Each structure stands twice: as C-alpha cells, then as structure tokens.
Chain A
Amino acid sequence: MLVPVAAGLMVLVDPLRRKSDAGGAIKVTTLEALPNDGVPRRFPVIASKTDAWNKFKESPIGAVYLRRTGDSKVEALNVVCPHAGCFVDFTAEDKRFHCPCHKSSFEVDGKIADPKSPSPRALDSLTVKVDADGAVWVAFQNFQAGRRDKIPIA
C-alpha cells in the first residue's frame, strides 16, 4: 500500500518544484499615458503565461497602478492587497487606495493609511524602468499575502 500512496504523493507535491515565470520586465505602457498630476492609473499586465500544460501568449497575468513622480520617473504598485489578495481601488476624492474586501486603506505611495487596516504591510512596489522611447517596463511580481515581509512568490 505504500507504493501507490507514495506515487500519489509525489504527483501531489509536484507543484512545489515548479517555478513562477514572473519577475522579468514587461512593457506595460508609455509615459504619455501617465498624467502629470501624480494620480495613479491602473494598467493590465499582459505577458505570456504557462498554465500547467497550456502556454498562453499575450494573456493578462495581473495589474499594476502606475504613478508619475517626475518627468521620467514612474512608481509601480501591484494592485493586489497584501492582506488577502483582493484588488485595491484608487479613489480620487481622498487620494487613497481602498481594498473592497476587508477595508484596508493605503496612501497614494502605497503606505498603510488607516492604522486599523488589516493589511500587514504597504502595497507591494515593483521595479520600474523607463526607456529612451518613453516605454514603461515593470518587473511584475506577486508576493505572499498576509505576511509582514514582502516574500516573492517564485
């Protein structure tokens, strides 16, 4: 009986050794699409994606909020709330991000706004590069939810 159980368990835990294809820089938009007033805008992140046996070209893998902080300086935040994984919304009225699920709130730079927020950390910032043509590249990455530290899901 050990043999079938062992064989089954091997297949069951196989996902543990799979690596995520996240982390590479992905072109998300251009500088012109980002307003100068520092208001963040949400963009889908489109990249190729592997789902077990399928490979998808040009498929949405997540979304980011981009905010222009200087002439050619851009900050990127993953839209995923670090608490439990819902997508946060930016509200222009109070210039904050709000999570629709458990009501965490974040400042425009991603820091926790209301100390009563259930989120254990600020919104996850991502590395951004703006190239000579004004294209905005984001190293898209998800992080483990519910942790104080930003642990990449690799």
Chain B
Amino acid sequence: MKAMLAWLDERTGFRKLARGALYENIPGGPRWRHVWGSAVLFAIGVQFITGIFLWMDYSPSAQTAWESVNYIQNEMWGGWLLRGLHHYTAQILPVLLALHLLQIIVYGAYKAPREVNFWFGLILLQLVLMMALTGYQLPWDQKGFSATKVNLNLLGIVPLIGPAVQRILIGGTDYGHLTLTRFFAVHAGVLPVTVLAVLVVRAYLLRRHGFAGERSPVRADAPFWPDQALRNVVACLAVMATLLYLIVRHRIASPTGTLGAELSPPADPSEPYSAARPEWYFLFLYQFLKYFPGDREIWGAIVIPGVVMGVLCLMPFIGRSKGGHRFNVGLICSLFAGAGILTWLAISADARDPGYQAAVKQAAREAERVKVLARSPAGIPSEGAAVLARMDPFIQGPKLFAKNCASCHRFDGSDGMGNVPKDAQSASDLAGFASHAWFAGLLDPTRVSSTNYFGATTHKDGKMSKFVKKDVAGYTPEQKAQLQKVILAVSAEAQLKSQAATDQRDAAIIAEGRTLFKDAMACTDCHQFHVKDPDANAPDLTGYGSRDWLVRFLNNPGHEDFYGKRNDRMPAFGEKKMLSAEEIGLIADWLRGEWYEPAQAQARE
C-alpha cells in the first residue's frame, strides 16, 4: 500500500498538493468567521450530488416534467428527501454566498492582491442566482411556470436583443417542450460546468495569494489543519442540520404536512395563478419593480441592479482611496438593509391581501388533489397531469359554480369556493341537492319559502310552495310518516354516492314510498314519475337529481320535462352554448358529490 502511494505520489505529486492545501497558513489563526467559504463549497457539493440523482429520473417536456417530479416526490423511495435537499440547498446557498460576500467586504479581503478572487466570487453569486431561476421552473408546476413567465417577460424589455434572447430561451413564441429542454440544458449543463470552472480558478487564486486573515499581535498564525478544518466541518454539519430541519418542518408542525419541497399543481396556460411569487430571496427585486410605473420598468429591472453590480465590481479600486473602504462597507450594509426592508414590505403586503391568501390556499388544495388523482387507478394519462385537474369535478366544480351559478344560487351559504358573492342570494342553496336532508327542507312548511329554497324566486308562491305550506303543514302524524317514505323514494332517484348504503338498506321503504307518491300523496297530480304523463306540468321527478337528469336540466331548465314556461331566470346553459358538455358534466358531478376518492385514504397516510 505504502509503495503504491509512493509510486502514485512520484507520478502525480499529490502529497505536495494535499500538504499545501492542509497546511496553508492562516494569518491570525483559525476563526469561526472563516468558515463561510467552506460552507458555500459544501452546499455546491450537495447540489451537484442531488442534482445528478434527480437528473436520473427527471424528464423535461411539457407532458412529463411535472409528472416525473411528482413521481420522484411522491412515489419513489426517499424522493422527498432528495428533492427536499436540492430545493432547500438552493435556498440556503444564496444566503451563504451573500454572507460570505458581506464578510469579504467588511474585512477588506477584496483588496490587492485579491481583486480577482473577489470578482470570481461575484460571478459565482450570479451563477448561483441563475441556477435558482432556471431550476425554479423545471417541475413545470403553476408556481414555477408563472414566475418564469414573469422573469422572461422582464428579460424581453432589454433593448434590441431582449425579445430575441427571450424567444431563444422559450424555444419559440409559446412556452412548451423546448422551454423545458433549454432551461434544463442551461441548469444541468452550461451553468454547472461554468461553476466548476469558477471554483477551479478560485482554488488556484487562493493557493496563489493564501488565506486572507488579519495578523494580530495576540493571535499567532496557524495552519489550516486541524483547527480551522474542524471549524469548517462543524459549519458544514450545521448547514446539513438546517437543511434537514427545513425538509421536515411542515411534518413536525402537522402530521399531514408536506415532507420536502412543495409541488404546486401542474402548469395550465389557461388557468390564472394569482399566487405567483418568486423565491423569497428575489422578493426584494419583485417589490422593487412595483415602484417603476409604465415604461420606466427597465430602470428597476435592469439598469439599477446592473449599476449596483458594477459598483460592487469596482469595490477593490474604490477601497484604495481614502475613506473608500468605509464607503464600501456602508454601501454593502445599506444594500442588505434595503433588500431586507423591501422583502419585508413584499411579505407584509401579501399577508394583508386576502386575494393572495385565498389563491395560495386554492393552489394547495389543488396540489393535494392532483396528487390523489395521480395515485388513482386511472393514473396520469399520456396527455399529462394538467388534464387530470381540468377534468376533475372536485377541482373544477366549485370554480364553475362560482362563475356561473353563484350570482343567484349558493352552495352551503357561499359561492362554492368559500366566498360570499356580491349579489344577494336569489335562488336555492344547492349543497346536498336531492339528498334526504335537502328534500326534508323543501317539504318543510317553515323552510320552503326561505331563500335557501323557493324564497327569492317566482316559485315562492307557486303550487309547490302552497302545497307544502297548506297541505303538508296540516299533515297528521301518519301522513308525516308517509311523507318521510316518499322523501326516501324521490331522493333514491338521484342515486347519490353518499346515500348508496341507506338506499340499499331501505329498498322496501323506498318501494312503498313510490306507491305512496302516486296514491296517498298524489304527487303525480302535477309531477311525472316513471310513467309517461302528458298532463304533468311540474318538473319530471323520474331520476330526479341523477347525473342524466341534472345534465338535461342544466342544458335547458325551460324544457317541458322541467319548468317549461314557468322557468324563472335560469339560463339554458347547454342549449345556448354558455357551457360546454364537459363543463355541465363537471358541475353535475360536483353537485352530486361524484368524484374519485381513494378507497383507503386513511390507511395510506
């Protein structure tokens, strides 16, 4: 072994190299504040390792990016840990670099002969930020997609070359496959190679100029090994501990919290995403942009950040002049303070914005739902996961209801999405439509004319209301019992998923209720029920509330099977092409509580 190492040393000289690195003199001896460089290097190492493993399972295309990231995150062994490490290191790295930069400037380590070291440090910071920007959109989720769209649009305002560069990066006029392949090539190929080159140059320069410490009469110089090395290792361990904490912190807070990094719903170019924000360390720039109206935006987005970067590059020269170093320290401290204040302004503005809060909640709900759908037996189709969200009643139902129905109807008092609409309620509340409880309310003399049923419609004083308020109000206990059976029978027509078990159990009562419907209760005087009745002038109760009934009703409530000429204000959504067949189906399914639910939801978690 010894002989082999000696042979290798003779051929390569590695011992001298290692000795040079380990016993490099530190002026003033080891200090905790010298650990930042190692911490940065450690974090970059973590990114290379986790990045390469993520690469093995990631597939950059508009139909597979979100899908493969979701697979890594939610299905693969340890995927949440791998992605969590990569994601949170990307958050920590800019902080470490910024602190490193602050330290270099405050202690004057940028001065001759280390100007070039300093410049390469600035280049490294730029590269890391570009890594973050390009990596943010690779999952092709709504969050990354929207934020990247904003960034590329800002790039487009650069005079002359802006639009062309923008188009080359997007890979055409619209976002798609080529956007992903190009961003991925930059993120995993071009930038890491450049980072490696910068690190090599920095290592060379470090060996050439030695460590920048400051000599002190009370502290003797000491070699890097072992005291400084130990401090650096402790710093790296602290970085790892922070990372692991960030990864599990949501799970510590709640047993259903996300492990690792968040993944928002798959990108859909026709869906608004009002929760779009850049990563938190770009929030100060985002906030800054709000102050530049109209076409002065280029000042906020390009010119001022460019000038600041230019001044930073000139710092080694500014530092030479009298008072120059103080200026530099003052400048960097005020830049940090300014960025801090802007970040705080951005965060507090969002905290006070109910629209933003609602958008964040909605995105979380959809993200959770798509995860469930992706695990359903049907799984993700080859068209991609965005289709799952687009065709899911649980996601689309409330949105469609809020947009098309909630100006008159309510769903459990709200517009279906939990907001109370501006317009007063002027039609029934459809939560639990066609269920036992819903019919019990309709046939309750005290409730039939409330706004939750016919109260605000032209049917308020219609035949049905009168019947309930006069006849039903005077029912004997025996008749009331009969009415209960009729309710079960009519409600069974809907074949609601939530009542499947009771419908089966009460089959005999339901059969009895059907007979009572015709005979004792005389409902068939007005309503058609299973038997063709040309004289019926009230809505057909055959299959009332079933999917087919509801779809036909939404197509045209004024059809003679339903309200006919007595239809109040309800539009013929289908016949007038106000909603597509899919949309009507989604609303019907959602009202009926008909959507995919995992059988063993509890068992899984």
Report how far A22 CA is from B168 CA in the complex, Å. 18
- Residue A24 is within 8 A (CB to CB) of chain B in the complex: no
- Chain B nearest CB, measured from A135 CB (Å): 8
- Residue B359 is within 8 A (CB to CB) of chain A in the complex: yes
**Residues in chain A near residue B231, CB distance under 8 A:** none
B153-178 contacts to A (CB < 8 Å): 153-154, 156-157, 163-164, 167-168, 170-174, 176-178
Report how far A89 CA is from B422 CA in the complex, Å. 15
Given contacts A30-B578, A85-B150, A153-B173, 10 further A-B contacts (CB under 8 A): A49-B174, A51-B174, A54-B62, A54-B63, A54-B177, A61-B270, A86-B273, A100-B272, A101-B276, A145-B157
B132-163 contacts to A (CB < 8 Å): 146, 149-150, 153-154, 156-157, 163
Report how far A19 CA is from B172 CA in the complex, Å. 8
Per-position contact with A for B241-283: 1 when CB-CB < 8 Å, else 0? 0000000000000000000000000001111111110000000
Q: CB distance A118 to B171 under 8 Å?
A: no
**Residues in chain B near residue A30, CB distance under 8 A:** 576-578
With A44-B270, A102-B289 known as contacts, the answer to whether A148 contacts B174 (CB < 8 A) is no
Per-position contact with B for A97-134: 1 when CB-CB < 8 Å, else 0? 01011110000000000011111110000000000000
Report how far A61 CA is from B163 CA in the complex, Å. 20
**Residues in chain B near residue A85, CB distance under 8 A:** 149-150, 153
Q: CB distance B270 to A63 under 8 Å?
A: yes
- Residue A29 is within 8 A (CB to CB) of chain B in the complex: yes
Q: Is the interface of A mostly helix, strand, loop or mixed?
A: loop
**Residues in chain B near residue A120, CB distance under 8 A:** 294-295, 297
- Residue B290 is within 8 A (CB to CB) of chain A in the complex: yes
- Residue B226 is within 8 A (CB to CB) of chain A in the complex: no
Q: CB distance A15 to B295 under 8 Å?
A: no
- Residue B209 is within 8 A (CB to CB) of chain A in the complex: no
Complex A-B: 7 CB contacts under 8 Å:
A29-B578, A51-B62, A60-B390, A87-B273, A87-B274, A98-B355, A142-B173
- Residue B48 is within 8 A (CB to CB) of chain A in the complex: no
Kindly state the interface size class of chain B when it binds its partner. 35 or more
- Residue B71 is within 8 A (CB to CB) of chain A in the complex: no
Q: CB distance B156 to A145 under 8 Å?
A: yes
- Chain B nearest CB, measured from A85 CB (Å): 4
With A51-B177, A144-B163 known as contacts, the answer to whether A33 contacts B168 (CB < 8 A) is no
- Chain B nearest CB, measured from A119 CB (Å): 7
- Chain A nearest CB, measured from B50 CB (Å): 28
Q: CB distance A147 to B157 under 8 Å?
A: yes
With A100-B274, A146-B153 known as contacts, the answer to whether A15 contacts B168 (CB < 8 A) is yes
B281-295 contacts to A (CB < 8 Å): 286, 289-290, 292-295
Q: CB distance A79 to B297 under 8 Å?
A: no
**Residues in chain A near residue B390, CB distance under 8 A:** 60
**Residues in chain B near residue A154, CB distance under 8 A:** 173
| Size of interface on A: residues with Cβ below 8 Å to B | 56
Smallest CB-CB separation from A41: which chain B residue?
A: B403
CB contact between A117 and one of B172, B176, B293, B577 (< 8 Å): that residue: B293
Report how far A89 CA is from B156 CA in the complex, Å. 24
Report how far A51 CA is from B176 CA in the complex, Å. 6
| Residues of A in contact with B (beta carbons under 8 Å apart) | 12-13, 15-16, 18-20, 22, 29-30, 32-33, 41-42, 44-46, 49, 51-54, 60-63, 79, 83-87, 89, 92-93, 98, 100-103, 115-121, 135, 142, 144-148, 153-154
Q: CB distance A101 to B292 under 8 Å?
A: no
Q: Is the interface of B mostly helix, strand, loop or mixed?
A: loop
Smallest CB-CB separation from B387: which chain A residue?
A: A59
- Chain A nearest CB, measured from B57 CB (Å): 22
Q: CB distance B171 to A15 under 8 Å?
A: yes
With A30-B576, A118-B292, A144-B156 known as contacts, the answer to whether A60 contacts B269 (CB < 8 A) is yes
Which of B150, B174, B286, B578 has the largest count of A CB atoms less than 10 A from its CB? B174
- Residue B356 is within 8 A (CB to CB) of chain A in the complex: yes
Q: CB distance A115 to B171 under 8 Å?
A: no
Report how far A100 CA is from B147 CA in the complex, Å. 12
- Residue B571 is within 8 A (CB to CB) of chain A in the complex: yes
Q: CB distance A115 to B293 under 8 Å?
A: yes
Report how far A18 CA is from B295 CA in the complex, Å. 28
Q: CB distance B153 to A16 under 8 Å?
A: no
Q: CB distance A61 to B269 under 8 Å?
A: yes
Report how far A102 CA is from B289 CA in the complex, Å. 7
Smallest CB-CB separation from B146: which chain A residue?
A: A86
Q: CB distance A45 to B178 under 8 Å?
A: no
**Residues in chain A near residue B178, CB distance under 8 A:** 15, 52
Smallest CB-CB separation from A39: which chain B residue?
A: B407
Report how far A92 CA is from B293 CA in the complex, Å. 25
- Chain B nearest CB, measured from A7 CB (Å): 15
**Residues in chain A near residue B298, CB distance under 8 A:** 146
CB contact between B170 and one of A15, A102, A121 (< 8 Å): that residue: A15
Report how far A68 CA is from B124 CA in the complex, Å. 54
**Residues in chain B near residue A53, CB distance under 8 A:** 177
CB contact between B289 and one of A19, A118, A135 (< 8 Å): that residue: A118
Smallest CB-CB separation from B286: which chain A residue?
A: A102
Which of B62, B153, B156, B356 has the largest count of A CB atoms less than 10 A from its CB? B153
Chain A to chain B: the 5 pairs with minimum beta-carbon distance, closest first: A60-B270, A87-B272, A51-B176, A146-B157, A100-B274
With A61-B270, A84-B154, A85-B149 known as contacts, the answer to whether A103 contacts B578 (CB < 8 A) is no
Which of B63, B269, B271, B276 has the largest count of A CB atoms less than 10 A from its CB? B269
- Chain A nearest CB, measured from B71 CB (Å): 21
Smallest CB-CB separation from B149: which chain A residue?
A: A85
**Residues in chain A near residue B167, CB distance under 8 A:** 15-16
- Chain B nearest CB, measured from A111 CB (Å): 13
- Chain A nearest CB, measured from B16 CB (Å): 34
CB contact between A16 and one of B154, B164, B289 (< 8 Å): that residue: B164
**Residues in chain A near residue B576, CB distance under 8 A:** 30, 32-33
B276-327 contacts to A (CB < 8 Å): 276, 286, 289-290, 292-295, 297-298
